[in-house]
Amino acid sequence: MGKLAQTSVKYLITAEFNADGTVEKPDVIGALFGQSEGLLGHELDLRELQRTGRIGRIDVDVTTVKGKSKGKITIPSSLDSTETALIAATIETIERVGPCDAKLYCKSIEDIRAVKRKQIIDRSKILLRELMKDVPEISTLAEELMESVRSADITNYKGCPAGPDVESGDAIIVCEGRADVLVLLKHGIKNAIAIGGTGVPPVVGQLTKSKETTAFLDGDRGGDLIFKELMQVGEIDFMARAPFGKEVEELTKKEIFKALREKVPAEQAVDLAPIKGKGKKFEKANKKASASNVTTVRIISSSKKGNDAKDKKPLVSGKRHERSTDRPARVVTAAATTKKNELSASQKKVYGEQLNELIGTHAASIYDKNNNFAGRVPVKNLATALKQVAEPLTVIVDAEVDKKMCKMVEDAGAENIIAIKVKDKVGKVNVFTQENL
C-alpha cells in the first residue's frame, strides 16, 4: 500500500464503530476495503486512492469487552474537501466487520491546515512577546541618552578632569579622581573638578581662591591626607565625605546628595578622621554647623570673599537649584510636619485616591518632597523615572512590594511606598497599605 507523506495531509477522518462480537484490526480494514469497493467508482476506490498516495495509512484501535468490540478509525486524506467528505460518508455504509454485525459512523473531519494555522498564530504570539521585551521604552532611551550626554560633558580644565561649569560657575566641588567627576555628572552636578592623584595640582589650589569650594572626598585615610593638603595649598570652604569605607565613585544618587547636605565648614573639619559612622567628632562638627549650614541638597548656605550671598551660584548647577536668603535654609515640606513613619491626613486622602486610580493598571505614581504629583509610569520603568525626579518622597504602586522595590525606592531618596500588598520589606523606607490610609 502507498503511504501518504505527512506534509501533504489536508484532512483527517475520524470514525468510530461498534461490533456485536469479537473482531480484530485486520477484520476492520478488510471490511473498509471490501464493502466500499465500487461504490464511488474506480477513481475514489479506497485501494486505488491508497495506492496513489491520496489516502494515507489507515489506523485502527480495537477494544473488546464482554464479547463485544468497539474502536476508532483514523484515515489521513490529501483529497479536496468534497472528495474527503464522500469517503467519510462511504465508511458509514459498512454493516459487517468480520463475522459480526457492526455499525460505523464518522465522528469528525479535521482540517489539518486549520490546526497548523492555530499553531502558527500561538507561536507567533510568543515570538512577538519576546520581541517586544527587547524594545526599550522611550523613557529608558531618553535616560540613556541623558547619561551619555552627561558623560560626554566631562572636560579638561588645565589638565584636570572637570565638569563643564567649573570655569564659569562661582562654586566648585573638588574630588579625588576622574571617576568621581563622572558619577557627579551622571546625577546632574556639573561643577566638579578632580585633582587626579594624591598631590593637589597648583591650578586647583589657585581655583579654590576665587570660587566657593567644597571638598568631596572618599571615606578613607587617603581622603584625610588630601583634605589636609587642600587646606595647605588652597582655600576650602566646606568638606563633604563619602560614608566610611566607600569612595565617591561608588555612591548612589541618594548617598551623594546626603553627603553634600551634611557638609561642614572646613575650619571645623580639620583633623577629623573618618572613623566608622563618620565618628563622634564629625557628628559634633555637623551639629555645631547646623545653625548656619542646614541646607537642602542643592542650596549653598554661605558666601565667600566679600560677595553677597544672593549673588552666589548654587553648589549644584541648574535653574532649579537656585538659593534664596529670604527663606529658612531648610525647606519644610508637608512630610516634615509628621513623624517619618506616619502620614498626614491630607497625604492619606491624596494617596488613597491615587491608589484607587492605579488598581488594575500595573503602574506607579510618584510624589515629590512638596507632595506634588511628579508623574505616572509603568512599574517596570519605575527605577528610571525615580532618577528623573529631583526629590522623590512617595511612590504609589499597583504591585506587590518586595525587597527589590524597597531598595530601589530607598536608593532613589524616597521615604514612602503605598501599595495593595506587601511581600517583603527591607531598609528604612516606610511601607503603607490601603488599610493605613
CA distances to 65, 156, 204, 269, 376 from 226, in Å: 96, 21, 12, 13, 44
Mean pLDDT of 92-99: 91
- Place 271 in a pLDDT band, splitting at 50, 70 and 90: very low
What does the mean pLDDT of the chain come to?
79
Mean pLDDT of 162-189: 89
- Place 421 in a pLDDT band, splitting at 50, 70 and 90: confident
Is-contact 320 298, C-beta < 8 A?
yes
- Place 37 in a pLDDT band, splitting at 50, 70 and 90: confident
- Place 213 in a pLDDT band, splitting at 50, 70 and 90: very high
Measured distance CA(219)–CA(382) in Å, rounded: 30
Residue 62 clears pLDDT 90, i.e. is over it: yes
Mean pLDDT of 233-249: 89
Residue 242 clears pLDDT 70, i.e. is over it: yes
Q: Give residue-wise pLDDT tens across range 111-157.
A: 988 888 889 999 999 998 888 777 666 766 776 676 666 555 788 88
- Place 38 in a pLDDT band, splitting at 50, 70 and 90: confident
> Given this model, what pLDDT does residue 18 score?
93
Pairing assessment for the beta strands 392-401 and 59-65 based on DSSP bridges: unpaired
Question: pLDDT exceeding 90 applies to what percent of the chain?
Answer: 32
Mean pLDDT of 341-351: 86
Counting beta carbons within 10 angstroms of the beta carbon of residue 346, is it exposed (0 to 12), middle (13 to 18) or buried (19 or more)?
A: exposed
Q: Give residue-wise pLDDT tens across range 277-332.
A: 444 444 444 444 443 433 333 333 333 333 433 333 333 333 333 333 333 333 33
| Segments making up each domain of the chain, as ranges | 6-115, 141-321, 335-436
In this structure, of 29-33, 237-241, 340-344, the range with the lowest mean pLDDT score is: 340-344
> Given this model, what pLDDT does residue 324 score?
35
CATH number of the domain at 6-115, please?
3.30.70.60
> Given this model, what pLDDT does residue 303 score?
34
Mean pLDDT of 153-179: 88
> Given this model, what pLDDT does residue 340 score?
52
**Which comes out higher in pLDDT, residue 307 or 60?**
60
The CATH architecture one would assign to domain 141-321 is 3-Layer(aba) Sandwich (3.40)
> Given this model, what pLDDT does residue 262 score?
87
CATH code matching the domain that covers 335-436, chosen among 3.10.20.30, 3.40.140.20, 3.40.50.1110, 3.40.630.10: 3.40.140.20
Question: pLDDT exceeding 70 applies to what percent of the chain?
Answer: 77
The closest alpha carbon to 294, from 335, 270, 256, 265, belongs to 265
Measured distance CA(377)–CA(259) in Å, rounded: 29
